[in-house]
Amino acid sequence: MRVKRAGLVAASVAAAALTVGVPAEAAAPEADVAYHGYASLWEGRLGIWLTPQNHGPVGVTEATVRLRYSVPLANDQRLPERCLRAGQRVVLCSTGEIKAGSWSEEIALDIRLKGAPSEATVQIDTLWNGGVSDRNVNNNRHKVLTLDTGDSYFF
């Protein structure tokens, strides 16, 4: 019995030694999702046009981009088919498939805000990456300040 326990302890220690220092995402395939586009604020409407990109090396079957607004959204919204509202200030959109080294279809949003703010901020990031890891999150996290001028602010 003592030999079995010693063997079990040794096997457990060896297994633990193999996994120490290896991040969980290291086992997942890696992709590099990025978002490029622009935002514009005019008369209580915040338009966002963004195009998902994947620098690779593997494709992404689908990811979810999250858009968080600094001001509440109006109750009645017309969102694209692949988007849904997830709170008073949050919209989630599916990117669809993004092949490695390629672009997905543009996502265009015309969001009505409560009131007519003179400025609004939108934060853009990836909520879900389709099960792949992304070590370069700097190109898929943006914070864009828009002023009520109708000007375009690029990210």
128, amino acid identity: W
| Confidence (pLDDT) at 23 | 52
Per DSSP (E only), the strands in 19-128 are: 33-42, 45-54, 64-69, 83-85, 90-94, 102-103, 107-112, 119-128
CB 122 within 8 A of CB 39: yes
Reading the block at residue 20, the tokens are 């120490």
For 76-122, write each residue's pLDDT tens digit. Answer: 999 999 999 999 999 999 999 999 999 999 999 999 999 999 999 99
The pLDDT confidence band at residue 27, using thresholds 50, 70 and 90, is confident
Nearest alpha-carbon partner for 39 in 153, 117, 134, 142: 153
Reading the block at residue 37, the tokens are 């586009």
Distances (CA, A) of 19 to 7, 26, 28, 139: 19, 11, 15, 30
